[in-house]
Amino acid sequence: MEEEKPWALISEVGGPHGYLEELADIVKQHFQIVCYKDFLQNPVLYGSKIQALLNWKYCPAAKPWLLKLLPCLKVVASGGVGIDHLDVPFINSLGAKVANTPGVVSDATADLAMGLLLASARNILEGHQIATDPKTVHIPQNLIGVEVTRATLGIIGMGEIGYKIAQRSKGFEMKVMYHKRTRRSTKDEQAVGASYCENLDDLLRCSDFVMIAVNLTSETSGLIGHRELSLMKPTATLINISRGLIVNQDALLEALQSGTIRAAALDVTHPEPLPRDHPLLELPNVLITPHIGISTITTARGMVKKMVENALAGVKGLPVPNEVHPH
Amino acid sequence: MGGAGEEQIEKRKRQTQVWRRSERTEGEEEESMRLCNSKKQTMAEDKPWALISEVTEQGFIKEVTDIIKQHFHIICLRDFLQNPQQHGPKIQAILMWNTYPAAEPSLLSSLPSLKVVANGGVGIDHLDVPYITSLGVKVANTPGVVSDATADMAMGLLLASARKIVEGHQIAVDPKTTSIPQSLMGVEVTGSTLGIIGLGHIGYKIAQRSKGFDMKILYHNRHRRSVEDEQSVGASYCENMDDLLRESDFVVLVVNLSPETKGLISHRELSLMKPTATLINVSRGLVVDQDALVKALRSGEIRAAALDVTHPEPLPRDHPLLSLPNVLITPHVGTYTYATTRRMVQCMVDNAVAAVNGQPVPNEVKLK
């Protein structure tokens, strides 16, 4: 007889925050799943069985009241690499481990970063809107873009994702500068032709494209504010694929409205989504995507597999491959 | 030519005129004339005269007029047409931009001193080179300088289509959006297979750019490139284009428009492609059979298309391609950056100056 599979709490199958069927199937290979809605119908019954909480697109949120209903919880396995939405020390204090999915998200995120850079530089969104608009009579000259080849790319944060962005930009003969808490090895730098900027200000002054690729921490929150934006070139573009809170959004709004910088391309904002009347939504020089950095079927599969791997290890009391420890 | 053919030509002319005719304000009109006819240039040394379409709107951006005026007095088509008898004999060069002013026989016959038609851009399918050269007039284009920007555009279109950037933005800013639909799931670019049809200067630069994404590169070309070239970008030659079509996740068209490449991608070719594949076109609209493309996109025979070029440009406002959800279209802006525009204009001017001075023209387009 097949050993009974351990129980896992998930958000839902289908729906905006849910898993595609094929992704849910990956989970079901190893877990009995309870959807959040069903869990709430009978929290006592399910609560006593659930050993893993699978957190996908921030759902179900690992809030204290929910965690207290899961006395057998051994692991919170999050999909994605960012864990700023999880109180790791608190979860650990309940006897549960926290895991994320680094590595597997890096390619897709780096691809999107380059896509946003190019789409903004070359006005692809506006171009499409004009090309398809029934009222279009002629091409406005303000559709002219800025050159990407041989431009200077300043990467803030050169972890795995930042490094992959540097690798991709090399084919465009971009001059790459980076700023990071700790400098990378000479070998790494030479492999992508990246120069270290000890002073973030220098990177901001020299870059045509500023790419934010850092974790959200207390040090990086509000890292890009009025002063930083004022140091940037008026022809420069800011690209953010990290977390919305790293940028002071009011300062960004002002900088974009006044022409202090040319444009911004954001896969992340704070909050997500922005309120429907937020001024950033109306600016002509802003490209916003709804946090789709990892949204490819290939990467989603990889993430779910890793989540499952982490959750199984946690449930079995084995070392969790991607355990997140408090700093 | 039959009646239907003439009707088509007339229809196309009307569409082109709609596209071209701009609702200019009086201020813009004055601005354009001022830029064409500044007193400064008439006081300068005796420079040759060049005919252009206009400054602003569909013509040159004003930021490049300094490059032209270094070597030429310029006259805009509108002003030329006020008095062709007076202006015609002075003009030694046509500086052609966005296919204007069109090198029609009626225009050329009023330019007895014309030495060169210098085109901005590398494509010259809009020029009757044999006819123009038969008049003793040289034709020149601007290869090389356009390649980086066009390759960048191709990659931009590829990524924007694969990752649904345009749809993403539309959803992100829509006042009615309450949640993010699952349909924004895109296809992976890293590690996928890119099939490049046409590995010339631009195609090669696309290969160079895609290498950083760990893409597997296949290419089809009239002539195979050197082993060294292939190895440098990790590209594999597909003698049979069908193989490339079958295996590619992204197919990018980077060929010249010629009798051989017209309609190169039609029903059969699209049916060979993967249903998860994306077609990207930065060549000319006529390289693709558009009706076949519409059918393939509607039926899911291919996943999506991203087109910087169509036929005609622009498409009629009720064309089905404009309303398909899986099509990204940009209005032929492959070279449209400040830096590249300046380089193109400089190259055009260099070609025109050489021709006017009877020197070898750097980028002369010769008959084969």
A138, B57: Cβ pair inside 8 Å?
A: yes
Instruction: Name the pairing type of β-strands B49-52 and B304-307.
Output: unpaired
Residue B243 has pLDDT above 70, yes or no: yes
Catalytic site residue from B73, B209, B303, B332: B332
- Give chain B positions within 8 Å (CB) of A118: 152, 155-156, 159-160
- Per-residue confidence (pLDDT) for residue B181, from 0 to 100: 75
Q: Determine whether B284 is an active site residue.
A: yes
Residues of chain A with CATH 3.40.50.720: 2-103+296-316, 106-288
The DSSP-derived string for B200-252 is SHHHHHHHHHHHTTT-EEEEE-SSPPPHHHHHHHTEEE-SSHHHHHHH-SEEE
- Give chain A positions within 8 Å (CB) of B180: 16, 273, 290-292
Catalytic site residue from B24, B313, B342, B364: B313
A122, B164: Cβ pair inside 8 Å?
A: no
- Show the beta-strand stretches assigned E in chain A: 7-10, 32-35, 50-55, 75-78, 97-99, 152-156, 175-179, 194-196, 209-212, 237-240, 263-266, 286-288
- Per-residue confidence (pLDDT) for residue B26, from 0 to 100: 59
pLDDT band at B34 (very low <50, low <70, confident <90, very high): low
Architecture per CATH, B146-329: 3-Layer(aba) Sandwich (3.40)
The four Cα atoms B93, B96, B102, B108 give a dihedral, to 10 degrees, of 10
pLDDT digits (tens, 9 = 90+) for A201-256: 999 999 999 999 999 999 999 999 999 999 999 999 999 999 999 999 999 999 99
The token pair at A12 is 């839902």
Residue B39 has pLDDT above 60, yes or no: no
pLDDT band at B253 (very low <50, low <70, confident <90, very high): very high
- Per-residue confidence (pLDDT) for residue B1, from 0 to 100: 41
First to last CA, chain B: 27
In DSSP terms, B118 is beta-bridged to B95, B140
Q: Determine whether B313 is an active site residue.
A: yes
- Per-residue confidence (pLDDT) for residue B60, from 0 to 100: 87
In percent, the amount of chain B with pLDDT more than 70 equals 88
Tell me the ipTM for this assembly: 0.94
A290, B213: Cβ pair inside 8 Å?
A: no
The phi, psi pair for A239, rounded to 5°, reads: -120, 130
B165, A122: Cβ pair inside 8 Å?
A: no
Compute the distance between CA of residue A93 and CA of residue B213 in angstroms, rounded to an integer.
42
Q: Is B209 on the interface with A (CB under 8 A)?
A: yes
The DSSP-derived string for B297-314 is HHHTSSSEEEES--SSSS
- Per-residue confidence (pLDDT) for residue A50, from 0 to 100: 97
A171, B211: Cβ pair inside 8 Å?
A: yes
B166, A288: Cβ pair inside 8 Å?
A: no
A107, B163: Cβ pair inside 8 Å?
A: no
Residue B20 has pLDDT above 70, yes or no: no
Residue type, A17: H
- Per-residue confidence (pLDDT) for residue B58, from 0 to 100: 75
CATH classification code of A106-288 = 3.40.50.720
Instruction: Measure A75 CA to nearest chain B CA, in Å.
Output: 27
The token pair at B128 is 């009757």
C-alpha Rg value of chain B to the nearest Å: 22
Question: Could you state, in order of their start, the residue ranges of all structural domains in chain B?
Answer: 49-143+339-357, 146-329
- Per-residue confidence (pLDDT) for residue B36, from 0 to 100: 65
Residue B12 has pLDDT above 50, yes or no: no
Spatial contact of B118 and B94, defined as CB atoms under 8 Å apart: yes
Q: For residue A191, what is the nearest residue in chain B, using CA coordinates?
A: B212
- Per-residue confidence (pLDDT) for residue A274, from 0 to 100: 94
pLDDT band at B13 (very low <50, low <70, confident <90, very high): very low
- Per-residue confidence (pLDDT) for residue B55, from 0 to 100: 87
Residue B221 has pLDDT above 80, yes or no: yes
Range 8-37 of B in CB contact (< 8 A) with A: 18-23
Phi-psi region of B284 (alpha: psi -120 to 50; beta: other; left: phi over 0): beta
Q: Is B324 on the interface with A (CB under 8 A)?
A: no
Identify the residue among B64, B158, B166, B317 best suited for mutation to test binding to A, counting A beta carbons within 10 A and taking the highest.
Answer: B166
Q: For residue B181, what is the nearest residue in chain A, using CA coordinates?
A: A16
Q: Is B359 on the interface with A (CB under 8 A)?
A: no
What is the number of residues in chain B? 368
pTM: 0.91
In DSSP terms, A52 is beta-bridged to A8, A75
Is A54 or B36 the better-scoring residue by pLDDT? Answer: A54
In DSSP terms, A58 is beta-bridged to none
Spatial contact of A17 and A56, defined as CB atoms under 8 Å apart: yes
Q: For residue A168, what is the nearest residue in chain B, using CA coordinates?
A: B212
pLDDT digits (tens, 9 = 90+) for B284-332: 999 999 999 999 999 999 999 999 999 999 899 999 999 999 999 999 9
Residue B106 has pLDDT above 60, yes or no: yes
The token pair at A75 is 């692991």
Please tell me if the domain spanning B49-143+339-357 has the same topology as the one spanning B146-329: yes
Spatial contact of B93 and B115, defined as CB atoms under 8 Å apart: yes
Catalytic site residue from B209, B225, B284, B343: B284
Instruction: Measure B54 CA to nearest chain A CA, in Å.
Output: 13
Q: For residue B210, what is the nearest residue in chain A, using CA coordinates?
A: A171
- Give chain A positions within 8 Å (CB) of B341: 144
| Residues with pLDDT less than 70, chain A | 1-3, 327
- Per-residue confidence (pLDDT) for residue B9, from 0 to 100: 47
Count Cβ–Cβ pairs < 8 Å, chain A vs chain B.
205
Could you tell me which residues come within 8 angstroms of residue B13 by beta carbon, excluding any fewer than 6 positions away? none
* DSSP-assigned letter for residue A9: E
Q: Determine whether A309 is an active site residue.
A: no
Between CA A103 and CA A107, with CA A105 as vertex, the angle to 5 degrees is: 90
Q: Which of A107, A118, A150 sits opposite B155 (nearest CB)?
A: A118
Compute the distance between CA of residue B173 and CA of residue B175 in angstroms, rounded to an integer.
6
CATH classification code of A2-103+296-316 = 3.40.50.720
Task: Name the CATH superfamily, with its identifier, for domain B49-143+339-357.
Answer: NAD(P)-binding Rossmann-like Domain (3.40.50.720)
- Per-residue confidence (pLDDT) for residue B59, from 0 to 100: 84
Residue type, A99: A
In DSSP terms, A210 is beta-bridged to A154, A238
pLDDT band at B142 (very low <50, low <70, confident <90, very high): very high
Using DSSP's 3-state secondary structure scheme, residue B138 falls into strand
The token pair at A217 is 């921490």
Q: Which of A125, A287, A297 sits opposite B185 (nearest CB)?
A: A297
- Per-residue confidence (pLDDT) for residue B178, from 0 to 100: 81
- Per-residue confidence (pLDDT) for residue B301, from 0 to 100: 98
Counting Cβ atoms within 10 Å, is residue B182 exposed (0-12), middle (13-18) or buried (19+)? Answer: middle
Q: For residue B319, what is the nearest residue in chain A, using CA coordinates?
A: A132
pLDDT band at B3 (very low <50, low <70, confident <90, very high): very low
What is the rounded average pLDDT of the residues B94-117? Answer: 96
Catalytic site residue from A126, A160, A189, A272: A272
pLDDT digits (tens, 9 = 90+) for B330-365: 999 999 999 999 999 999 999 999 999 999 999 999
What is the rounded average pLDDT of the residues B39-62? Answer: 77
Mean pLDDT of chain B: 90
CB-side neighbour CA atoms (13 Å) of A270: 16
Spatial contact of A254 and A105, defined as CB atoms under 8 Å apart: no
A112, B163: Cβ pair inside 8 Å?
A: yes
Compute the distance between CA of residue B155 and CA of residue B149 in angstroms, rounded to an integer.
10
Could you tell me which residues come within 8 angstroms of residue A124 by beta carbon, excluding any fewer than 6 positions away? A118, B156, B157, B160, B165, B166, B328, B330
